[in-house]
């Protein structure tokens, strides 16, 4: 029997983090308080009090490298994603603590088994940056509730005991915050399970703190099974030269990169902004995979837009953007009922069996029959 790796984060998840600079001194690596954000010029001093109230409710972290990108982004899209705002204290009645129903599908701690052929394995709930719209914002935060060695062993035993599991998705939190040797041990344990064919890793780290994508980390993902990394990225301004280089280190190590994005009001909810993002991803060898409609997480109403508005944006993109840059627009049905594509639809059944109406990207309709 193999030993389960422990999965504590690679560094203290709370308290000051410092990095050595070129001159041998240290500088703060992550901004974690309203005062940090004000000192760094990310919020006006007059907004520090409300930011502090938000920070008492939801975790705040902005790595210094990302803070530079926030300051340089004239669109304000990065600020809106990463800097706390008073709107987060407005909770709508239909917002949920667990909007995609992870808990209802968690047979053992750290595992979410919603679909027959795949599971989520969440080794920790800490992230390098805390996105203000996060669907797991009630679970993630400093400390990260990392699985203990015994809990990790139980989660791996569950995967071993369910031969229908073909894909293991490391999620969290950000699994790439694990120390490389711990990540390597965990990946090796999963890869050793005969019926597991694919390991997928969901991360924001190449955008949030690109310097953490080290050669040791990329080596930790090497194993006997196919490994895919899915980068969470919502705006082209996140793809700084450093983030681009971090993504390239993963790709050049032989790891295919996909991207998932969230459609967010005030961030990327127009066709031009999304087009710029999707083209920027593909040009960096990152294949857009999912575009998520925002979940009904508490205090995130200011990020949501109507589904019909999302469909209209996707319809505009269909006609003018390469097929390899098209993500699937999806909604996680609240309550844990799964993820489904939500259009736009181009095909409607006509009056008779086999009679269809097809709509082209410009909105013109055509009759189509599939009768032999
Ligand atoms: S990186 Fe992912 S899990 Fe972490 S705060 Fe952002 S959306 Fe949530």
Q: What does the pLDDT look like over 63-72, one tens digit per residue?
A: 999 999 999 9
Atom of ligand 1 nearest to the CA of 202: 2
Q: Is 134 in the pocket of ligand 1 (CB under 6 A)?
A: yes
Q: How far apart are CA 162 and CA 140, in angstroms?
A: 27
Q: Where in the chain is the domain with CATH 3.20.20.70?
A: 103-339
Query: Which residue's CA is the closest to the ligand 1 atom numbered 8?
Result: 134
Q: Is 70 in the pocket of ligand 1 (CB under 6 A)?
A: no
Query: Which residue's CA is the closest to the ligand 1 atom numbered 6?
Result: 131
Q: How far apart are CA 207 and CA 204, in angstroms?
A: 6
Q: Is 122 in the pocket of ligand 1 (CB under 6 A)?
A: no
Q: Is 151 in the pocket of ligand 1 (CB under 6 A)?
A: no
Q: Among 97, 32, 104, which Cα is nearest to 300's? A: 97
Residue 370 CA, ligand 1 centroid: distance in Å: 45
Q: How far apart are CA 364 and CA 359, in angstroms?
A: 5
Q: Is 186 in the pocket of ligand 1 (CB under 6 A)?
A: no
Atom of ligand 1 nearest to the CA of 59: 5
pLDDT of residue 18: 56
pLDDT of residue 166: 98
Out of 36, 122, 131, 233, pick the active-site residue.
131
Q: Which of 159-163, 209-213, 272-276, 361-365 has the lowest mean pLDDT?
A: 361-365
Q: Is 235 in the pocket of ligand 1 (CB under 6 A)?
A: no
Does residue 269 have an active-site annotation?
no
Mean pLDDT for the stretch of residues 177-203: 98
Mean predicted lDDT score pLDDT of the chain:
92
Backbone φ, ψ for residue 319 (5° rounding): -80, -20
Cα angle, residue 74 at apex, residues 260 and 39 outer, rounded to 5°: 95
Band of pLDDT at residue 28, cut at 50, 70 and 90:
low
Q: How far apart are CA 312 and CA 243, in angstroms?
A: 30
Query: Which residues, other chains included, contact 208 with Cβ-Cβ below 8 Å and sequence gap of 6+?
Result: 63, 65, 66, 127, 128, 129, 174
Chain centroid to Cα 273, Å, comes to: 18
Q: Among 210, 140, 182, which Cα is nearest to 9's? A: 182
Band of pLDDT at residue 207, cut at 50, 70 and 90:
very high
pLDDT of residue 8: 38
Q: How far apart are CA 230 and CA 242, in angstroms?
A: 18
Does residue 371 have an active-site annotation?
no
Query: Which residues, other chains included, contact 164 with Cβ-Cβ below 8 Å and sequence gap of 6+?
Result: 116, 117, 195
Query: Which residue's CA is the closest to the ligand 1 atom numbered 3?
Result: 173
Q: Is 303 in the pocket of ligand 1 (CB under 6 A)?
A: no
Is the per-residue pLDDT at 270 higher than 60?
Answer: yes
- pTM greater than 0.85 (yes/no): yes
Out of 29, 32, 80, 114, pick the active-site residue.
114
The long-range contacts involving 305-314, CB below 8 angstroms and separated by at least 24 positions, are 305/263, 305/265, 305/269, 307/331, 307/342, 307/343, 309/269, 310/263, 310/269, 310/342, 311/342, 311/343, 311/344, 312/344, 313/263, 313/269, 313/270, 313/271, 313/274, 314/343, 314/344
Residues 98-110: pLDDT tens digits? 998 888 999 999 9
Q: Give the CATH number of domain 103-339.
A: 3.20.20.70
Q: Among 254, 194, 203, 199, which Cα is nearest to 226's? A: 199
- Burial 155-168, CB ≥16 within 10 A → b, else e: bbebbbebeebebb
Cα angle, residue 209 at apex, residues 169 and 10 outer, rounded to 5°: 65
Beta bridge partners of 178: 9
Residue 20 CA, ligand 1 centroid: distance in Å: 26
Does residue 115 have an active-site annotation?
yes
Pocket test for ligand 1, best of 122, 134, 209, 260 (most atoms within 8 A of CB): 134
Band of pLDDT at residue 230, cut at 50, 70 and 90:
very high
Residue 102 CA, ligand 1 centroid: distance in Å: 15
* Euclidean distance between the first and the last CA atom of the chain, given in angstroms as a whole number: 58
C-alpha pair distances (Å), 327 with each of 55, 208, 216, 281, 359: 33, 22, 31, 11, 19
Mean pLDDT for the stretch of residues 275-283: 98
Band of pLDDT at residue 76, cut at 50, 70 and 90:
very high
C-alpha pair distances (Å), 352 with each of 239, 349, 357: 49, 8, 11
Mean pLDDT for the stretch of residues 353-360: 92
Residues 290-324: pLDDT tens digits? 999 999 999 999 999 999 999 999 999 998 999 99
Cα angle, residue 110 at apex, residues 107 and 115 outer, rounded to 5°: 55
């Amino acid at each position: 029997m193999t030993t389960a790796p422990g999965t504590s984060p690679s560094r203290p998840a709370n308290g000051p983090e410092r990095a050595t600079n070129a001159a041998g001194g240290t500088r703060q690596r992550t901004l974690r308080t309203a005062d940090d954000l004000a000192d760094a010029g990310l919020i006006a001093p007059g907004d520090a009090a409300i930011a502090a109230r938000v920070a008492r409710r939801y975790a705040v972290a902005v790595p210094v490298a990302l803070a530079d990108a926030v300051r340089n982004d004239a669109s304000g899209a990065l600020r809106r994603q990463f800097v706390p705002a008073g709107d987060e204290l407005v909770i709508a009645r239909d917002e949920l603590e667990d909007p995609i129903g992870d808990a209802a599908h968690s047979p053992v701690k750290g595992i979410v088994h919603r679909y027959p052929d795949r599971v989520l394995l969440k080794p920790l709930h800490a992230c390098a940056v805390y996105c203000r719209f996060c669907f797991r914002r009630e679970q993630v935060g400093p400390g990260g509730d990392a699985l203990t060695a015994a809990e990790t062993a139980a989660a791996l035993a569950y995967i071993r005991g369910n031969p229908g599991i073909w894909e293991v998705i490391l999620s969290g939190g950000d699994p790439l915050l694990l120390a490389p040797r711990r990540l390597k041990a965990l990946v090796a344990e999963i890869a050793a399970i005969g019926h597991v064919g694919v390991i997928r890793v969901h991360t924001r780290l190449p955008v949030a703190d690109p310097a953490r994508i080290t050669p040791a980390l990329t080596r930790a993902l090497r194993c006997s099974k196919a490994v895919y990394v899915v980068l969470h990225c919502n705006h082209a301004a996140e793809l700084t030269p450093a983030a681009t280089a971090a993504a390239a280190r993963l790709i050049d190590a032989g790891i295919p990169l996909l991207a998932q994005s969230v459609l967010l009001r005030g961030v990327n909810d127009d066709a031009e902004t999304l087009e710029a993002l999707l083209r920027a991803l593909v040009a960096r060898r990152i294949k857009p995979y999912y575009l998520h409609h925002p979940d009904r997480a508490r205090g995130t109403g200011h990020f949501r837009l109507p589904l019909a508005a999302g469909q209209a944006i996707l319809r505009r993109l269909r006609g003018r953007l390469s097929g390899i840059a098209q993500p699937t627009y999806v909604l996680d049905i609240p309550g844990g009922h799964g993820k489904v594509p939500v259009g736009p639809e181009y095909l409607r059944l006509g009056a008779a069996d086999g009679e269809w109406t097809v709509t082209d990207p410009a909105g013109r309709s055509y009759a189509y029959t599939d009768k032999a």
